[in-house]
Amino acid sequence: MNSGLRVCDRFARHCFVRFETSSLGQGIIMSHFEGTADSAILESNFTPAKEHEARKALLGSALGYAMDGFDLLILGFMLRVISSDLGFGPAQGASLVTATLIGAVIGGIVFGMLSDRIGRVRVLTWTIVLFAVFTGMCALAQGYWDLLIYRTIAGIGLGGEFGIGMALVAEVWPASKRARVSSYVGLGWQLGVLAAAIVTPILLPVIGWRGMFAIGILPAIAAYFIRHNLHEPDVFVERTAGPPATSLPINLLVKDVETTKISIGMIILCSVQNFGYYGVMIWLPNYLSSRFGFGLAQSATWTAVTIAGMAVGIFVFGHVADRLGRRPAFITYMLGAAIMVVVYSKLTDPTALLIGGAIMGLFVNGMLGGYGALMSELYPTTARATAQNVLFNVGRAIGGLGPIVVSAVAAAYGFDTAIALLALLYIVDMLAFLLLIPDRRGAELT
């Protein structure tokens, strides 16, 4: 009874605030009222059994994204060893990373659309199995071409996991917790990166790069857990109960002028997010080494602290976005990122660099978990996973150029110009959000 009264009280206060502050007309006020009522009803129907199911979905989605981070980082650690063992040149070694990212874009499109048609849980299982099997196959590679094929196919599986997992958790958790659970999925990436940073230096000298790839078969166990313990979200079952749509889900991303503007805005946001992340993470160790003479251990420590700051930022972002709205959270973090990359470039004291790196990481990558909730509220169920996968992976492909661009600008025009470029990109990010992206916090998923 008390919990029901609390829900009603929260609902009434929220509607009153919306009514008092709205000056856009009766139609808009009613849409706010109806959307908030739906959210309150969903909250009250969130029984312990549904919460248990939602927690399992969250765990499965976070594990999938953790594998993404783990895989890409261990590949980076092992490139030199693999190249030496198989006789690769630098360009061939780097192409393995490129092939993985290209595969991720392909997988994001294909598996996103499949997920919107035949189910989140089933297709998420397929992506994990595909990734696990072909990561394990990399251990059997005898040369460049077969390893390139295995990495590309593993990337296809990898690309499907982010968007499907984000769509799944958004659909099974109530609207009041949507941003924070999306952020918890984003934390999976940070945990995967951290695990790779800890495990690789220990295991690589013992089991070699083939043994490290063989470990990649283990996520198939997670696929078994997901397939046999999770059910499709109610909203997905309801929205897809009728005859299948005749058009592809990807067409819904550009179905009209308003939606096309949103999709363009999301590509800008996802591109800057990935550009900043990869630019900072690849640039930071080299910057610390060349400018301050830090050795490998020191650079690794400072980088690890930056990663820890990113994890804190992701966690905090979800709570801020749920309480204050998507737009205030994103704009605050974008502004913080623009300021901190400039501030960090001016620091010289080791302690200041340590603290500044954590704060910079908080803002630069803290937004990661917010994209899941944001896109879930902007696109319908019949295109939700497609939107998440296509837009984020297109952004990852563009943002993956970050290290190259930052290095080229720094070499041609100086380090300060490269940092100014990063800061400018976050300003463009803010403008894109303000002009193109609506804030639909708490809206019922359509």
Q: Return the closest-CA partner of residue 32 out of 343, 353, 439.
A: 439
- Is the pLDDT at 6 greater than 50? The verdict is no
Q: What value does the mean pLDDT take over residues 30-39?
A: 39
pLDDT-wise least confident of 159-173, 221-235, 306-320: 221-235
**Residue 363 has what pLDDT?**
93
**Residue 54 has what pLDDT?**
87
**Residue 15 has what pLDDT?**
36
The two tokens of residue 316 are 């905090």
Q: Are 329 and 349 in contact (CB under 8 A)?
A: no
Burial environment of residue 403 by CB neighbours within 10 A (0 to 12, 13 to 18, 19 or more): middle
pLDDT digits (tens, 9 = 90+) for 338-366: 999 889 888 888 888 888 888 988 998 89
Amino acid at 286: N
- Is the pLDDT at 389 greater than 60? The verdict is yes
**Residue 300 has what pLDDT?**
67
Q: Are 160 and 123 in contact (CB under 8 A)?
A: yes
The CA–CA distances, whole Å, from 23 to 17, 28, 40, 443 equal: 12, 9, 23, 19
Cα–chain-centroid distance for residue 386? 14
- Is the pLDDT at 18 greater than 80? The verdict is no
Rounded CA-CA distance 429/271 in Å is 9
The pLDDT-based confidence of 270 (bands split at 50, 70, 90) is: very high
**Residue 90 has what pLDDT?**
76
Q: Are 159 and 104 in contact (CB under 8 A)?
A: yes
Q: What value does the mean pLDDT take over residues 329-333?
A: 96
pLDDT digits (tens, 9 = 90+) for 115-149: 999 888 889 888 888 988 899 999 999 999 999 99
Rounded CA-CA distance 39/446 in Å is 12
Rounded CA-CA distance 265/263 in Å is 5
The two tokens of residue 194 are 């951290």
**In terms of C-beta distances under 8 Å and separation of at least 24 residues, what long-range contacts does 11-15 make, across chains too?**
11/36, 11/37, 11/40
- Is the pLDDT at 24 greater than 60? The verdict is no
The two tokens of residue 164 are 């499907």
Cα–chain-centroid distance for residue 19? 34
Rounded CA-CA distance 93/393 in Å is 22
**Residue 242 has what pLDDT?**
73
pLDDT digits (tens, 9 = 90+) for 401-442: 777 787 788 778 877 788 888 889 999 999 999 999 998 887
Rounded CA-CA distance 363/380 in Å is 29
DSSP 88: -
Burial environment of residue 87 by CB neighbours within 10 A (0 to 12, 13 to 18, 19 or more): exposed
The CA–CA distances, whole Å, from 106 to 127, 161, 219, 246, 433 equal: 12, 12, 21, 22, 26
